[in-house]
């Protein structure tokens, strides 16, 4: 079965202190790697899709990158409003399965303090 | 453009009762997915449906759980004879098609508490 591991589990940053979140994955034939943001009591909010090694995508203070085994979510000069849990998910060509299923990691809980 | 809608947002059931969770996908989306999030665990896939068809139910418990997405109306996740272990947040997601690599958009979830 496809596996997704995120690290660290929790991260505390001071406002303006840049850092990166890691997502390691094993999948049979990557169809897509997805990053989501989840605030307490809410559903995951879509951020990025990455399809192949070397690809990068940016949105405001966030930048996602992809290699053959892992993805990074870089946060530049974070603000308190960036505090949330960031989830990574993959979709692959595992045996017999449809293309619909996403496999999620447990997430990184990010706290940015002023 | 309305997002994915789920209701109720909170549901309390006693052990042995039935729980019905509803999901209306985004406009123009015909593919629906249900996930469960247990406390301190990640999101786990349960079932993938298209209109009037179950595409993949391999993540759903074989007993007490069922799902449907009728031609008209919302998708329904039904849990019969609920037990305390069913307490969790249930999320619905939708996508415009089922081709691999398409992002799924999530609703706000239904938080089920079994007493």
Say whether residue A36 is in contact with chain B using an 8 A CB cutoff: yes
Give pLDDT tens digits for B82-111: 999 999 999 999 998 877 778 999 999 999
Give pLDDT tens digits for A56-88: 999 999 999 999 999 999 999 999 999 999 999
Give pLDDT tens digits for B47-85: 999 999 999 999 999 999 999 999 999 999 999 999 999
CA distance A7 to chain B (A): 13
Kindly give, in sequence order, each residue whose CB lies less than 8 Å from that of residue B72, ignoring residues fewer than 6 positions away: none
Which site among A51, A101, A107 would you substitute to test the B interface, given the most B Cβ atoms closer than 10 Å to its Cβ?
A: A101
Give the pLDDT confidence score for residue B98 in this predicted structure: 75
Of A4, A98, A106, the CB nearest to B98: A98
| Confidence at A93, pLDDT banded by 50, 70, 90 | confident
| Whole-number Cα distances in Å, A106 to A7, A76, B27, B44 | 9, 22, 29, 10
| Whole-number Cα distances in Å, A109 to A38, A112, B36 | 9, 10, 19
Q: Cβ A100–B98 below 8 Å, yes or no? A: yes
d(CA B25, CA B32): 7
Give the β-pairing of A108-113 and A10-14.
parallel
Give the pLDDT confidence score for residue A94 in this predicted structure: 65
Q: Cβ B45–A103 below 8 Å, yes or no? A: yes
Q: Cβ B106–A105 below 8 Å, yes or no? A: no
């Amino acid at each position: 079965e496809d596996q997704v591991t995120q690290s660290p589990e929790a991260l505390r940053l001071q406002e303006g202190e840049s850092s990166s979140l890691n997502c390691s994955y094993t999948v049979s034939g990557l169809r897509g790697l997805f990053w989501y943001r989840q605030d307490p009591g809410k559903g995951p909010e879509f951020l990025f899709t990455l399809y192949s090694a070397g690809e990068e995508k940016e949105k405001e203070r966030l930048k996602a990158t992809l290699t053959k085994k892992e993805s990074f979510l870089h946060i530049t000069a974070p603000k308190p409003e960036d505090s949330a849990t960031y989830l990574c998910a993959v979709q692959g060509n595992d045996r017999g399965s449809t293309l619909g299923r996403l496999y999620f990691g447990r997430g990184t809980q990010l706290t940015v303090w002023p | 453009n309305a997002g994915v809608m789920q209701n109720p947002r909170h549901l309390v059931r006693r052990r042995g009762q039935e729980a019905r969770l509803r999901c209306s996908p985004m406009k123009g989306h015909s593919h629906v997915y249900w996930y469960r999030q247990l406390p301190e665990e990640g999101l786990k896939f349960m079932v993938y449906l298209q209109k009037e068809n179950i595409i993949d139910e391999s993540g759903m418990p074989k007993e007490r759980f069922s799902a449907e997405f009728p031609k008209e109306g919302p998708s329904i996740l039904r849990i019969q004879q609920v037990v305390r272990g069913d307490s969790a947040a249930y999320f619905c997601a939708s996508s415009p098609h089922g081709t691999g690599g398409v992002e799924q958009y999530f609703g706000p979830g239904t938080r089920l508490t079994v007493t």
